[in-house]
Structure 1
Amino acid sequence: MDTRTHGGNIWRLARKLGCGAREILDFSASINPFGPPSWLDAVTGDAVSDLRHYPDPDCSELLEAASRHYGMSEDELTADNGTAEILHRLPPLLVGDSGPGRAVIPVPAYADYAAVCAVHGLEVDHLPLEPRDDFALNWDRLHDSLREKPHWPTLVFLGQPNNPTGRTFQPDRLRALAAEHPGCWFIVDEAFADFVPGLDRLLRQRPPNVIVLLSLTKFYALPGLRIGLAAMDSALATRYRKRSPDWSVNTLAQIAGARCLQDAEFQRESRERTVLERDRFAAALAGMAGLRVFPSEANFLLCRGLGPEFDADRLAGKLLGQRIAIRACANFPGLDSSYFRLAVRRPEENDLLLDALGEALEPAGRLHSPARPRSRPRKRATPALMFQGTCSNAGKSLLTAALCRILRQDGFSPAPFKAQNMALNSGVTPDGGEIGRAQILQAQACGLEPDRRMNPILLKPNSETGSQVIVLGEPRGNMTVGAYIRAKEDLRGLVHDAYDRLAAEHDVMVLEGAGSPAEINLRHHDLVNMTMARHAQAAVYLVGDIDRGGVFAALSGTMDMLEKWERDLVRGLVINKFRGQRSLLDPALDWVARRTARPVLGVVPYLADLGLPEEDSVNFKQGALFRPDRTREADGPAQGVALDVACLDLPHISNFTDLDPLAAEPDVAVRLVRHAGELGEPDLLILPGSKNVMADMDFVRRRGLAEAVIRLAETGATHILGICGGYQMLGMRIEDPHGLESATRASIPGLGLLALTTRLEPDKTLRRTVAGHPASGLEVAGYEIHHGQSVPEPGCDDLVVALKTAEGRVIGLGLRDKPVWGSYLHGIFDDAPFRRWLTGTILAVKGRSPLSAVGVWDMEAALDRLADHVRRHLDIARIYDNLGGQTLEVR
C-alpha cells in the first residue's frame, strides 16, 4: 500500500484521462473552495521583475506580517517551502542523536506524519480513533501511551482539525498534557485551522514543547506557491533557521504570503462562506441512503459507504471517468476501503458531485453504472452559453441573437436570457409585461414570443442617479442606485427562478451579460455577469470591440481582473466589428490566446446596414442608425433624398427603435437635432418617446427647440408627430402629482400645440395594441408603454382622433387643420402600409414625387443574414462542443 498517496495530484489524473487539468473537478484536495484572493495575479505579476534577485533569506516581510497577524514575536516564527518541508526538518532537530526516537500518531491522520518519521528511523505507534465516537481524540489513551516509554524522545502529531476526519480537540487539554510530559514534543498541524470560526489557536499560551504548523496554502488556495510557517520556542526557532538553507521560500511566495496575512476581509468571508456551504453539502450527503457522513469542522467531509459491497476505490474510478476526483481513504491508517473524503467546493460544483453520487450509488450503498454515460454530470439538463463583453456596446446583444438563430436553424429549441438590462428601449410581451427590446429581438431569433422571464429585471434610467425598476415585466417604482443595490440580494432568487423555469422548457439557453464583468466597483453585487453564468453553468465567451481600438488590451486586462473562478468560466474570446484584412491580426491573436490561455474562437467582421433595431443609445446618439450618404443638414437636402426626417435628440430618449424602419427606407434621411439651429424645415419632425418627459421638456426649452417647433407648427410646412412622451410634450400641461418623474414639481407646461393635459399615474399601461387610423383608413399595430393619461381640454373642438382601438380607446389626437398629431403607439413605423401612406402623403402635400423605391423592413431576413455572417466567422462546432458535454452536434 502506498501510504504517501496524496490528494490533489491533478496533473497525474489529467495525464491518465488525456484531458486538461482544468477539466477535472477535484474533490481530492481540500483547498479554499472560493479560490485565492482576487488580488493574487496583480501582486505576483508585479513581483515578477524581482525574480532577477535572490529571495530574502530572512523572509522579513513575511514573518513581520505573520507576527502581526498571529500576535507573537518574530523570533518564535520560522518560514519554509511549505509545512511538508518543516515536517521533514523537525525529527532530526528534535530527536538528534539522543537514542531511539518514537512517534505517537492518533489515526486516522495525515499520512506524511508517519512517512516522515519512518524516513528518520523513528518508531511509530498508531492510536486508533473510534468511528463510534466520530473519531474524537481519546485523551486517556494518549496519556497512557506517553507513559509507556518515558525515556525515549517522543514526537506526538496531532491535526487541529484532524485530516481526514475534520474533528478538533480541546486546546486546554493539550496544554495540560504538554505540561505533564515536558520531555515530549507535541507537533500540532493547524493547516486547516483558519476554516474553524472562533478556534482557540495553540499559538496563544503555547507551552515550550508545543510546535504549531501553519500552512498558508490551504486557506488561501495557494498550494502551488508552497508557503509554510511554524511557531515554536525562540531558542528552537534559532536552531531551526541555522539548519535550514538560504532562500528556501521563493520571492513570489513571500510576497503573496505577507499580503494574505493582512487580508482580513478575505479571511472573514472565506470562513463564513465555507462553513455555510459545508453544512449544506453535508446535509445533502447525509440524505443519501447507504452513506454515513461524519461531523467536520474543516473544509472537507469524511464519508463511509455502508453497503457490504461498497468500495471507495471503485467509486473513485467511476467518478474519475466523469472527470471528478475524490479521495479514497484506504491508505490512511485506521481507515479501510469503505471510507472516502470529499473537499467542500463551490455550491454548483458540490451539486454536480451530488448528482454523480446519486447515479453511482444504490440505496444499499452498492455501486452501479449510470443509466447513460455522461462526460460531466449537470444539475440542470439545459446547456448554456453566454456572451460577456469587455465594455458596453461590444456587440453582445446581436451575437446573442445570432447564436439564437443559428441554434434554431440547426434544429434546437433555444431561448435568450438577460438577468438585468439597463435600457430605455423596451417592448411588451403578449401577456402585458415589459422587457428589453434586445430580448424581444432575441426571442424572435429563436422563433418564440417574448417572455417576461427572458429579462426578469429591466432598469429604465430616468435621472442621473436613479431608474424605474421593472421586475418580471411589472414596474416596482423608482430607485436610486443605492436603493437598488440593497434590493439586489432579494431579487437574486427571483432571477434564478425565472432562469430555471425558462431553461427547463428549452434545449439550450443563450445568455447575455451587461457592460463588463471586470467592473471592480460592481462585482460584489453582480447579478448579471459571472454570478449568473455560474448559476446557469454557462460557457462564457468574452467579446471585444476592435472598432473602438485597444481590443487586445481590453481582452487581456479583463481576464487579468477576473477572479480565478470567473476565469474558469471563460471558454474563449471573440473579436467583434473588425474592418480590414484578417491575416494582419494573426500575431495579435496568437499573443492574446497565449496571454489569456483562451482560444480566439472568431473574428467577426463589421456588418453594415444590418436592418435590425439597436438596443444601445450609444450607437443611436452617434448616428450609427443613419447612413452618411443619406444624412442631410438643416440648410438643405442631401443628394438623392426624397424625405427629410428630423428627430429631437432628447437626453432621456426611449424606444428610439421606432425610427429604424424609417431609416431603412432608401430615399429617407433621418437626422438628430440637439439645438434649434440644427432643426431647419424638415419634411417630418418626430418628438420621440422619453423616460423623463418633465426633464426633457426643460431641455427642449433650454436649447431653443420649443420655439422652433412651435414656429414650424404655425407654418404647417412640416408634419409633426409625437410618440408617447413626445405626444405628451405637444399638449398644454404635464402633471406629475405622484412624483414619478420629478420630486420638486407637480406640473409643467407643454408646447401647447394640442389642447390636452397629461397626468402621470402610478399604474403603467403595458399592452400590445391594434388601432384604427381614420385619416388613412388603415389599422396600425404596435405596443403601449406609458404612465401618462392624456385627456382633451373641455370644450375643445379643434382636435381629431388620430388613433383609436376597436374597444373605443383613443390613443392619439391631432389638429383638425394642421399636420400636428401624436399617439401612444410605439412601433408605428414597423407597419409597412402605414409607413408608406405617411411618407407618400407628406411628399404629395409638398408636391414631390413619392419614394422611388420602398424599403423592406424584414427582421426575419435580417436575422438570417446575421446568423449566416456569424456562422462563417465563429467556430460554431467548438461552441457546441463546450456546451457542458451535452449531446449537441452541428447538424
Structure 2
Amino acid sequence: MSVNHGANLYNLSSKYGFSKEEFMDFSSNINPFGTSKLAKEYVINNINMVSMYPDPDYINLKKSVSSYCKCLDENIILGSGATELISSFIETINPKKALLISPAYSEYEKELSKINCKVEKYFAKCENDFKIDTKELILELNKNDYDLIIICNPNNPTGFTFSKYEVKEILESTKSFVMIDETYIEFTDTNTYSSTQLVDTHPNLFVIRGTSKFFSTPGIRLGYGLICNEEIKNNINSNLDLWNINILASSMGEIMFTDEDFISNTVDIMLRERDYLVKELSNIKDLKVYESQGNFILCKIKSEDLTGKELREKLIPNKIIIRDCASFDGLNEFFFRVCILKPKENKLLISELKKIFN
C-alpha cells in the first residue's frame, strides 16, 4: 500500500520490531470489528463452492445489493473493488474537463490524468470548517462547462457530507455527470445522506460503493456501481471480465447486505465511539477538531509547534499510527486524521495525545 493511502504495516513492523497485529492503526478507515459473522460462517461451511464457477449474471448478489440500496437491480454494476469501477466509469465517459471537490482521495485525479482530462478543483475551506454551501457550488458549476463532477460523500479526509436532498439539487442544476463515491456512507445516517435512491431517476448520476471499509472485507475485492444510464451501463459491463467477482466474494455479499444485526450494531458502536473521540479530542486545547460524518476525524494542531508528521512519529513507539494529512491537496503539515477503532484503543489514543499536548 502506498504511504499516501495509509500506513504500511509491513515496513513499520520491520523498522520498530513490533508485529503487524500489535499496531493500533488509526490511519486505516476499515471497520475494526470485522465482517459479518453470518457471511464468514457461510463461507466456512460451504468452502467446496470454490470448485464451482460463479453465476455469470450474479442474480442473487444483485438482488441483495438492490434491497440494501433501495434501487433497481438492473442498475447495478459489479466490480472487483470500488477502484476498478472508478477507473471504468472515467474511461467510459472520457471527460475532457472535470471538477474535483477537494481535498480528496488521490486516485480520482490519478485516473483522470490517465486520459489527459483537465482537472479543476473546488476547495472546501478551512475557515468554513470544510463545509460546502450547495448554492455556492452550483453557481460555480453554472459558470463552467464540466463533463464530470466528482464528490466523495462523506469526504475523505474532512468528513463533510452532502445530504441526498443537496445532491438532488446539484444533479438537477447541471447536465454534467456526477460521480458520488459513497465508500464511507454507511457510517452515517444513510436515509439522510445516501444518494442510492436517486439513481433510478437521474441518468447523470453514478454512485460508487465498496465493501472494504464498512463490511471490513478489503481482501475479497467487491465493489458496486449504480447507474440508470443505459449507454454508460452497457459500455462499462461490456468491458468487464466474465466472472469478475469470485464465488467467495459473491456469496459473502449476498449475506452481508442482508445481515441487519451486523449492520445496525456496527453503526451504533461506531457512532458512539465517534462521539467519544470528537468530545475528547476537542478537550485538547491545542487541537482544532472538525465535524465528521465518516468513521474518521480530521484535526489540526493549532500551536504549530508540532507537525502532523512529528506527532505521528511520537506515537509510533507506543504502537499507535495516525494519518499525517500533508499529502492531501489543500491541507498543510499541521493536519492529521484519526479513524475510529475499538473503545479500548480509542481511550489509549486519547491518553497518549493528552500526554504529548499537556
Q: Matched residue of 1:224: which SS?
A: helix
Structure with the bigger percentage of strand = 1
1:71: how far off?
2.3
Q: Output the amino acid matched with 2:157.
A: P
Task: Report the counterpart of residue 661 of structure 1 in structure 2.
Answer: none
Q: Using the alignment, how far apart are the partners of 1:172 and 1:40 within structure 2?
A: 33
State whether structure 2 residue 36 is matched by structure 1 residue 37. Answer: yes
1:8: how far off?
5.0
Q: Matched residue of 2:224: which SS?
A: strand
State whether structure 2 residue 163 is matched by structure 1 residue 170. Answer: yes
Say if 1:40 and 1:25 are closer, same or farther in 2 by CA, change over 3 A.
farther
Task: Report the counterpart of residue 115 of structure 2 in structure 1.
Answer: 120
1:38: how far off?
2.4
Q: Is residue 3–residue 111 contact of structure 1 (8 Å, CA) maintained in 2?
A: no
Say if 1:41 and 1:9 are closer, same or farther in 2 by CA, change over 3 A.
farther
1:234: how far off?
4.8
Q: Output the amino acid matched with 1:194.
A: E
Q: Matched residue of 1:283: which SS?
A: helix
Higher RCO, Cα 8 Å, sep 6+: 2
State whether structure 2 residue 357 is matched by structure 1 residue 361. Answer: yes
The correspondence of residues 823-862 of structure 1 with structure 2, limited to 5 A, is none
State whether structure 2 residue 346 is matched by structure 1 residue 350. Answer: yes
The correspondence of residues 414-453 of structure 1 with structure 2, limited to 5 A, is none
Q: Using the alignment, how far apart are the partners of 1:317 and 1:57 within structure 2?
A: 48
Q: Is residue 81–residue 249 contact of structure 1 (8 Å, CA) maintained in 2?
A: yes
Q: Is residue 23–residue 320 contact of structure 2 (8 Å, CA) maintained in 1?
A: yes
1:293: how far off?
0.9
Q: Output the amino acid matched with 1:48.
A: I
Q: Output the amino acid matched with 2:113.
A: A
State whether structure 2 residue 264 is matched by structure 1 residue 265. Answer: no
Q: Output the amino acid matched with 1:193.
A: I
State whether structure 2 residue 332 is matched by structure 1 residue 340. Answer: no
Q: Is residue 75–residue 234 contact of structure 1 (8 Å, CA) maintained in 2?
A: no
Task: Report the counterpart of residue 192 of structure 1 in structure 2.
Answer: 184
State whether structure 2 residue 226 is matched by structure 1 residue 226. Answer: no
Task: Report the counterpart of residue 206 of structure 2 in structure 1.
Answer: 211
Q: Is residue 101–residue 152 contact of structure 2 (8 Å, CA) maintained in 1?
A: no
Q: Using the alignment, how far apart are the partners of 1:337 and 1:247 within structure 2?
A: 44
Say if 1:353 and 1:132 are closer, same or farther in 2 by CA, change over 3 A.
same
| Length-normalised TM-score, structure 2 | 0.92
1:193: how far off?
1.0
Q: Using the alignment, how far apart are the partners of 2:90 and 2:153 within structure 1?
A: 20
Task: Report the counterpart of residue 292 of structure 2 in structure 1.
Answer: 296
Q: Is residue 215–residue 256 contact of structure 2 (8 Å, CA) maintained in 1?
A: yes
1:195: how far off?
1.2
CA offsets 1:625-664 (integer angstroms, 9 cap, x no match): xxxxxxxxxxxxxxxxxxxxxxxxxxxxxxxxxxxxxxxx
The correspondence of residues 715-730 of structure 1 with structure 2, limited to 5 A, is none
1:350: how far off?
0.4
Say if 1:124 and 1:16 are closer, same or farther in 2 by CA, change over 3 A.
farther
Q: Is residue 31–residue 219 contact of structure 1 (8 Å, CA) maintained in 2?
A: yes
Q: Is residue 103–residue 125 contact of structure 1 (8 Å, CA) maintained in 2?
A: yes
Q: Output the amino acid matched with 2:64.
A: A
The correspondence of residues 395-406 of structure 1 with structure 2, limited to 5 A, is none
Q: Using the alignment, how far apart are the partners of 1:50 and 1:17 within structure 2?
A: 41
Q: Is residue 300–residue 341 contact of structure 1 (8 Å, CA) maintained in 2?
A: yes
1:337: how far off?
0.8
The correspondence of residues 584-595 of structure 1 with structure 2, limited to 5 A, is none
Q: Is residue 38–residue 259 contact of structure 2 (8 Å, CA) maintained in 1?
A: no
Q: Using the alignment, how far apart are the partners of 1:352 and 1:229 within structure 2?
A: 36
1:269: how far off?
1.2
Q: Which has the larger radius of gyration?
A: 1
1:179: how far off?
2.1
The correspondence of residues 61-100 of structure 1 with structure 2, limited to 5 A, is 61-95=60-94
Task: Report the counterpart of residue 102 of structure 2 in structure 1.
Answer: 107
Q: Matched residue of 1:157: which SS?
A: strand
1:324 to 320, 324, 328: 320
Q: Using the alignment, how far apart are the partners of 1:16 and 1:149 within structure 2?
A: 49
- Unpaired runs of 5+ residues, structure 2, are none
1:274: how far off?
1.0
The correspondence of residues 743-822 of structure 1 with structure 2, limited to 5 A, is none
1:310: how far off?
1.9
Q: Using the alignment, how far apart are the partners of 1:351 and 1:44 within structure 2?
A: 34
Task: Report the counterpart of residue 768 of structure 1 in structure 2.
Answer: none
| Length-normalised TM-score, structure 1 | 0.38
| Matched length | 354
Say if 1:176 and 1:78 are closer, same or farther in 2 by CA, change over 3 A.
same
CA offsets 1:358-394 (integer angstroms, 9 cap, x no match): 22224xxxxxxxxxxxxxxxxxxxxxxxxxxxxxxxx
Task: Report the counterpart of residue 23 of structure 2 in structure 1.
Answer: 24
CA RMSD of aligned residues (A): 2.0
1:144: how far off?
3.8
Say if 1:200 and 1:342 are closer, same or farther in 2 by CA, change over 3 A.
closer
Q: Is residue 166–residue 302 contact of structure 1 (8 Å, CA) maintained in 2?
A: yes
Q: Is residue 203–residue 212 contact of structure 1 (8 Å, CA) maintained in 2?
A: yes
Q: Is residue 36–residue 222 contact of structure 1 (8 Å, CA) maintained in 2?
A: yes
Q: Using the alignment, how far apart are the partners of 1:199 and 1:170 within structure 2?
A: 6
Q: Using the alignment, how far apart are the partners of 1:247 and 1:4 within structure 2?
A: 31
Say if 1:128 and 1:200 are closer, same or farther in 2 by CA, change over 3 A.
closer
Q: Output the amino acid matched with 1:138.
A: D
Task: Report the counterpart of residue 127 of structure 2 in structure 1.
Answer: 132
Say if 1:329 and 1:205 are closer, same or farther in 2 by CA, change over 3 A.
same
CA offsets 1:110-131 (integer angstroms, 9 cap, x no match): 2211122112221111111112
Say if 1:354 and 1:191 are closer, same or farther in 2 by CA, change over 3 A.
same
The correspondence of residues 675-686 of structure 1 with structure 2, limited to 5 A, is none
1:262: how far off?
0.5
Say if 1:57 and 1:360 are closer, same or farther in 2 by CA, change over 3 A.
farther
Q: Is residue 129–residue 138 contact of structure 1 (8 Å, CA) maintained in 2?
A: no
Q: Answer with 271-280 or 166-175: which moved more.
A: 166-175
Say if 1:175 and 1:302 are closer, same or farther in 2 by CA, change over 3 A.
same
Q: Is residue 203–residue 229 contact of structure 2 (8 Å, CA) maintained in 1?
A: no
- Unpaired runs of 5+ residues, structure 1, are 363-891
Say if 1:237 and 1:8 are closer, same or farther in 2 by CA, change over 3 A.
farther
Q: Is residue 4–residue 111 contact of structure 1 (8 Å, CA) maintained in 2?
A: no
1:3: how far off?
9.1
